[in-house]
Amino acid sequence: MKLLIGIAMVVLFWAANAGAGCKEDCDRDFRIATQDCQTKYNNPENKDPDQLQECLDEAEDRLKSCREDCKDEWGTHGD
């Protein structure tokens, strides 16, 4: 019985950490995407505030979608 409880605890711990890793991946991808937006549309050679905002909005949409996928995949519900 102790063995089963131990295994269950390890599995739950692993699942919680995997979900956190998924969220961290989403956050990292978001940071990279926003940096790319800034590089493309907010530089001395190409200042385009409309394109910049569109790019940032798309990055935010992908972040939200990625986090939802993490919740679906790992059953985590915290932000």
The DSSP letter of residue 53 is: H
Can you give the pLDDT at residue 43? 86
| 19 close to 75: Cβ distance less than 8 angstroms | yes
- Contact predicate 59/34, CB 8 Å: yes
CB 62 within 8 A of CB 30: yes
Q: For the whole model, what pTM was predicted?
A: 0.67
Q: Contact at 8 Å (CB) between 60 and 30?
A: yes
Flag whether pLDDT at 47 surpasses 60.
yes
**Is pLDDT of 71 > 90?**
no
67, 79 Cβ separation under 8 angstroms: yes
Q: Is the pLDDT of residue 24 over 80?
A: yes
Evaluate if residue 77 carries a pLDDT over 80. no
Of 22-36, 37-51, 56-70, the range with the lowest mean pLDDT is 37-51
